[in-house]
Amino acid sequence: MWLLVTGSPRLLLLLLAYITASTVQCRNINLILPNVPDVLHPPIPSEAGISSDDVDGLQSMENIDPEVRPGLFQGDMALNNEIFDYWRVGLRWDIFPEKLWLNRTVPYLISPLYETEHRILIYQAIRTINFLTCVKFVPWTGKEKDYLMIWPVKYPSGCWSYVGRYGGPQIVSLQPPDDTGANCLGTDGRPIHELLHALGIFHEQSRADRDKFVKINFENVIPQYRSNFDKQSLKNTTYQFEYDYNSVMHYGKNFFSIGKGKQTIVPKIEGQKIGQRKMMSKTDCLKINDLYGCLGTPPNYNYKYYTLCNYMGI
């Protein structure tokens, strides 16, 4: 099992107590930035069960996808056991009302450790979600208790996020480009993927009905990661939308593969592509708007967001 039992955000609060804030202007927006040490470790305590061997072993593999990291549930999600028991493609707000971002507002802080061009790319992803949904990401003013810290976390590195609002400062890890490749900042899709986890959305191929749409080749999955392909019981799940091969939340065909050419997920429609990280799909867009109650209820639909989502290319 690759569950991460999340640690107390107090750890990070302690760390932040040493950080003083400053304001900078970026594209006519005032951003409050903390002064931080060069290396900031996120609240991943020892009880997270991540062994350094696992991390080193997997990270040294060639062409490893930055969303595929050990020690995190399904590679890129930090979950606690309670959430794991009740999760579905989107969190159930009736069970986890506290995971919902209040007033559909998500304060965020982009780390000053990023290069300007990478900050702009992250900002573009945020702007896309703000435009297409009624959820609003707003720069953290230093006053809000709950907010996202978008950070180039060093350990565990890669692209990862908590699911839903965690309470207090909450890391979204986006590894910047380096000699090995673009990591989490090659396209808008990767930051969007992790931000959607932070809004409460899970991976598309974990739906209970996924076997009608994809075949999982378990024999091609690295044995210790087979549970990353678990699907969820229908008992806890209802789906508002059709299965979405184009979802930015769908795994790629080689995720957790034992080697080249050994596909782990095969779509049942021939030639169907999966695992795009370019952009939110139409259905991703509708999914967030639905989870956050932006679409209205019959007969009072809010057509604005239906229309915006339907304009999406993918």
The footprint of Zn ion (CB under 5 A) covers 76
Cα separation, 198 vs 196, in Å, equals 5
- The CA-atom distances, in angstroms, between 10 and each of 3, 16, 98, 166, 192 are 20, 9, 18, 12, 27
Minimum gap (Å) between residue 118 Cβ and Zn ion: 20
Cα separation, 152 vs 113, in Å, equals 7
Annotated binding site for Zn(2+): 193, 197, 203
Annotated binding site: 193, 197, 203
Any catalytic annotation for residue 194?
yes
Structure tokens at 23: 């304001």
* Whether 166 contacts 77, CB under 8 Å: no
Query: Between residues 76 and 146, which has the closer beta carbon with respect to Zn ion?
Result: 76
Minimum gap (Å) between residue 48 Cβ and Zn ion: 17
User: Any idea what DSSP says for residue 133?
Assistant: S
Alpha carbon 295 to chain centroid distance?
22
Query: Between residues 9 and 189, which has the closer beta carbon with respect to Zn ion?
Result: 189
Minimum gap (Å) between residue 193 Cβ and Zn ion: 6
Nearest one of 314, 1, 307, 250 to 132, comparing CA atoms? 307
Query: Between residues 76 and 244, which has the closer beta carbon with respect to Zn ion?
Result: 76
For Zn ion, which residue has the nearest CB?
76
Alpha-carbon radius of gyration of the chain:
19
Cα separation, 106 vs 95, in Å, equals 20
Cα separation, 162 vs 52, in Å, equals 21
Minimum gap (Å) between residue 197 Cβ and Zn ion: 6
Catalytic-role residue among 194, 219, 242, 270 = 194
Cα separation, 291 vs 62, in Å, equals 37
Catalytic residues: 194
